[in-house]
A = this chain, B = another copy of it.
C-alpha cells in the first residue's frame, strides 16, 4: 500500500485507528472454545465489529507463536479474512543479519502478505534493508517504545563521531530516526513511538516530518490520544494509533464484539475530531 492510499483510507473512515490483535487463547469468551479455531473465530468477529472504524490491524506474533503451528494457522486464516483495503502490520520486532532478514521478509511480505512489519533497529541498516527492498511494503522501526524500561538504552545520550554537527548529543531513539532517514527507501519507514511518551512526539515529528508514526499505548497502557494527536499529526495525518487490549477485551461475554464496536467507535469519533482540528 502506498502512502497516498493509506492517507485516503484514513480520510474515508475519519480514523487512524489500528486494532492490535494480541489474541490470547486464555482470555477468549468461553463459548468460542468449542470452535475448531477459537482464535480465528474471535479475530473474525473482532474484525467484523471494528472494520468501519479502523484503517489498520496489527497481529502480535507472540500470541500466535506461543501456540506453535496451530497459532500460525490462526494467523494465516486471519490474514486471509482481512479485506485488501486495510493496512496490515506484523508486530514481530525482528532484526537479523542480511540473509536472515531476507527470510523474515519472505515470511511476512510473501507468505502472509502483510503491508508492514515492526523491526528492532539495534543491529543497523543491513538488517532493515531487505524489508525496504520491497516496493509498497513498509518497515516500522522501534524508536521510543511505551514500556518503562525505554530509559535503559533508548533514551541514553549518544554521539556520532562522524557527524560534525552532533555536538549536543541526541538520544539513541533520535539517532535511530536521524540515521535511518538516510537509508534508501526511507519514505517507507514508520517509527514506533509509545503514547506514554507524548511529549517526545513533538521532537520526533520535527526529526521526521513526513513519516508515519505507529503509536501504541493509548489503551491499557494509559497514553492520551489527545496529546498524541496534538503533538504527532502532520498534514497527511502521519499517525496510526494502536489499541489492543482495550478493544479486543472490552467485553468478556458472548457480546464481546459489541463491546469492541463501542470502544472502536468511541476512539474513531475522537479521531474524526482531531483530524478536523489539525488537518482540515
Measuring CB to CB, which residues of chain A are less than 8 angstroms from any residue of chain B? 22, 24, 60, 62-63, 65-70, 72-73, 76, 91, 93-101, 103-104, 106-107, 111-112, 120-127, 142, 145-154, 156-161, 169, 172, 175-176, 179
Contacts and interface: CB of A to CB of B under 8 A. Distances in A.
Given A62-B107, A93-B94, A93-B96, A127 B156 contact: no
Contact of A66 (B106, B126, B159, B160): B106
Which of A103, A126, A148, A157 has the most chain B CB within a 10 Å cutoff?
A103
A50 to B, nearest CB: 21
Contact of A142 (B69, B99, B104, B122): B122
Given A94-B93, A104-B62, A68 B111 contact: yes
A24 to B, nearest CB: 8
22 contacts: A22-B99, A65-B104, A65-B107, A66-B106, A66-B111, A69-B69, A69-B72, A97-B147, A120-B122, A122-B122, A123-B149, A123-B153, A123-B154, A124-B148, A125-B149, A126-B147, A127-B147, A127-B149, A153-B175, A156-B158, A157-B159, A158-B172
